[in-house]
Structure 1
Amino acid sequence: MSETVRIRDLVEHLPLKVVSGSEASLERQIATSDISRPGLELTGYFTYYSNDRLQMLGKKEITFAEKMLPEERLVVMRKMCSKETPAFIISRGLEIPEELIQACQEADIAVLSSKLATSRLLGVVSSYLEGHLAQRTSIHGVLVDVYGLGVLIQGDSGIGKSETALELVKRGHRLIADDRVDVYQQDELTLIGEPPKILKHLIEIRGIGIIDVMSLFGASAVRDSMEVQLVVYLEQWSKDKRYDRLGSDENLINIGNVDVPQIKIPVKTGRNVAIIIEVAAMNYRARSMGFDATKTFEDRLTQLIHENSKE
């Protein structure tokens, strides 16, 4: 599952303004996050023209086009305006050739402009498209921002995931999604999670019902998306099961083609799971910075054994 992006969406969410374009042209959909800078095409070379991409013209392209004869410009611009071309974007607030506007009006293609530098604008548009066109997968769990770390809480139904998330929100952390999390791969190492639109800012507590977290706790208690950096799996405590007491077991779970560290926390009466998750998040961040309490303990134990062996 992936979203669709229209030209109108770019105008509404990015620093772009419409220079030319009908209502129909703004409804054109963008099929790929790749963006083309048609330099060779301005010379007349169209063998590998990516006509299904957004076409971005910067200072180099506009300067080259200005040196062409008006009739040459019109021929080239008309050729660039194919049925599949979503729109043309001009950076730096540069003056747009009249021939480009004419060709786009004939083909009913929008022309957009931005004051941003070309490289900056390219990054902004690409990032937006990659985030909205990426393939999405729905997973069961609760995603919470704990000390700036995206923690995905999973576990069996009824084990208290939502209640734990509510306790974390009360302690100053932020809710991203409850019950269902839509995740997508931003790059090879980054997994982003966000709530489905119907569940945004909402959390369900058995016995109470649905709670609007933003209304009760304010805008600082929620956020729209977050990188999934740690998975906490809640499971029922069993006296017959062996649990990791040193923190030396390193488990990875694959979600959306990205490996994410996972820890399992046994749940039983008397354990404050919210505080444990807070500590787990802080400990994970400390480890990523090179501070590993487990390794420190093992080093001390090894040294103690070595000293005793000498006696």
Structure 2
Amino acid sequence: MVKVRTEDLLNQFQLELVAGKDGIHREILMSEISRPGIEMTGYFKYYPKERLQLLGKTELSYYSDLSHAERMDRAEQICTDITPGIVVTRGLDVPEELIEACNASGVPLMRSPYKTTRVISRLTNYLEAKFAPFTALHGVLVDVYGIGVLITGQSGVGKSETALELVKRGHRLVADDSVEIRQEDYDRLIGTAPPLIEHLLEIRGLGIINVMTLFGAGSVRSYKKISMIINLETWDQKRQYDRLGLEENTMKIIDVEVPKLILPVRPGRNIAVIIEVAAMNFRLKRMGVNAAEEFSERLTNMIQQEKSGINVKADLDFD
């Protein structure tokens, strides 16, 4: 389980710590952010105190119009023992009552110079990425023509060797052997490499090589959206493989169905070139060009034309 603490926000976004220094180690448990507008009026029945609180120009303008006693009451109720922190945006002046309440309760009070909408967007994206569903798969992730291709298969089938050939052909390695995958949003899978093996590639008989050192910084990248899966397997003479490309298989990773191709491996097949073509063909399909469907339509039209010709000839012979 990933743990995010308030001090992580201070380091990540260079926020100014105004008060509540004792609570910077508080844990943030969810990605949702609350703007306590209605709470400023005194209604705390449904106050989401476990969320990160954000105060913008609207909230602080209303707060400043309250009496001193009301400001103290609101500040004390906003600052609970489980509130992970309060962020003030636009570099606004922080009321003394709020500073006192945060110091007394140990709730970190932070300030950002940026606009409220921008701060909410950046904080939400950061927290969503941290709390996203996570899994790890055995395989190799490569960026081929802008398409994130996850190469899977049994150990020793040639995944790393194929990735090395792709890197030599100008594509970029993301992860080898183990791919850490996070689901960002409902249909977006982001793959990264574990820090221990980042930029490294294991080639049997050769050992571990550093791809970035050998081929340059342009040969690697830190993360990539997974768009398709290519499973390598040893050629089986008894198995019927798809020859037209009309079949569309998928593999479910977390909650996302990802298109999947099965490539049989045997001597003489250049798997790297086939993966390149598969990536380009995937891009064409997203643009609405499907060669397999075009061939199927041509074949159907030809059959219909031949049937029509036979029917016409039969009618003439009958006459």
Alpha-carbon spacing, 1:197–1:3, altered in 2? closer, same or farther (3 Å)? farther
C-alpha deviations, 1:28-61, integer Å up to 9, x for none?
2211111111111111111111111100111111
- Which residue is equivalent to 1:129? 127
What fraction of aligned residue pairs are identical, expressed as a percent? Answer: 48
- Which residue is equivalent to 1:292? 290
C-alpha deviations, 1:227-276, integer Å up to 9, x for none?
21101000111222111111011001111121111000111111111111
Secondary structure of the structure 2 residue equivalent to 1:210: strand
| Aligned equivalents of 1:241, 1:117: Cα separation in 2 | 60
| Aligned equivalents of 1:29, 1:213: Cα separation in 2 | 37
| Distance apart, 1:303 and its partner CA | 1.7
- Which residue is equivalent to 2:6? 7
Note if 1:118 corresponds to 2:125. no
Unaligned runs of 5+ in 2: 310-319
Pairwise mapping of residues 256-275 of structure 1 onto structure 2 (< 5 A)? 256-275=254-273
| Aligned equivalents of 1:219, 1:212: Cα separation in 2 | 11
| Distance apart, 1:25 and its partner CA | 2.4
Note if 1:57 corresponds to 2:76. no
Alpha-carbon spacing, 1:266–1:27, altered in 2? closer, same or farther (3 Å)? same
| Distance apart, 1:15 and its partner CA | 5.2
Amino acid paired to 1:9? D
Asked if structure 1 preserves the Cα contact closer than 8 Å seen for 2:20 and 2:104, the reply is: no
| Aligned equivalents of 2:16, 2:205: Cα separation in 1 | 49
| Aligned equivalents of 1:200, 1:93: Cα separation in 2 | 38
Deviates more, 1:93-102 or 1:34-43: 93-102
Asked if structure 1 preserves the Cα contact closer than 8 Å seen for 2:140 and 2:175, the reply is: yes
Deviates more, 1:143-152 or 1:245-254: 143-152
| Aligned equivalents of 2:13, 2:293: Cα separation in 1 | 47
Secondary structure of the structure 2 residue equivalent to 1:72: helix
| Distance apart, 1:220 and its partner CA | 2.2
Amino acid paired to 1:80? I
| Aligned equivalents of 1:17, 1:208: Cα separation in 2 | 50
Equivalent of residue 202 in structure 1, options 200, 203, 206: 200
| Distance apart, 1:153 and its partner CA | 0.5
| Aligned equivalents of 2:218, 2:165: Cα separation in 1 | 15
How many residue pairs align between the two structures?
Answer: 309
Equivalent of residue 236 in structure 1, options 225, 230, 234: 234
Asked if structure 2 preserves the Cα contact closer than 8 Å seen for 1:3 and 1:134, the reply is: no
Pairwise mapping of residues 97-246 of structure 1 onto structure 2 (< 5 A)? 97-246=95-244
Secondary structure of the structure 2 residue equivalent to 1:244: coil
Amino acid paired to 2:81? K
| Distance apart, 1:21 and its partner CA | 4.1
Alpha-carbon spacing, 1:103–1:174, altered in 2? closer, same or farther (3 Å)? same
| Aligned equivalents of 2:54, 2:227: Cα separation in 1 | 34
| Aligned equivalents of 1:17, 1:270: Cα separation in 2 | 61
| Distance apart, 1:77 and its partner CA | 0.8
- Which residue is equivalent to 2:308? 310
| Aligned equivalents of 2:288, 2:305: Cα separation in 1 | 26
Asked if structure 1 preserves the Cα contact closer than 8 Å seen for 2:144 and 2:172, the reply is: yes
- TM-score, length-scaled by structure 1: 0.94
| Distance apart, 1:184 and its partner CA | 2.1
| Aligned equivalents of 2:241, 2:30: Cα separation in 1 | 46
Unaligned runs of 5+ in 1: none
Alpha-carbon spacing, 1:198–1:241, altered in 2? closer, same or farther (3 Å)? same
Structure whose CA Rg is larger: 2
Asked if structure 2 preserves the Cα contact closer than 8 Å seen for 1:58 and 1:92, the reply is: yes
- Which residue is equivalent to 2:317? none
Secondary structure of the structure 1 residue equivalent to 2:141: strand
Deviates more, 1:272-281 or 1:298-307: 298-307
| Aligned equivalents of 2:106, 2:203: Cα separation in 1 | 51
- Which residue is equivalent to 2:314? none
CA RMSD, Structure 1 to Structure 2 (Å): 1.5
Asked if structure 2 preserves the Cα contact closer than 8 Å seen for 1:41 and 1:76, the reply is: yes
| Distance apart, 1:308 and its partner CA | 2.0
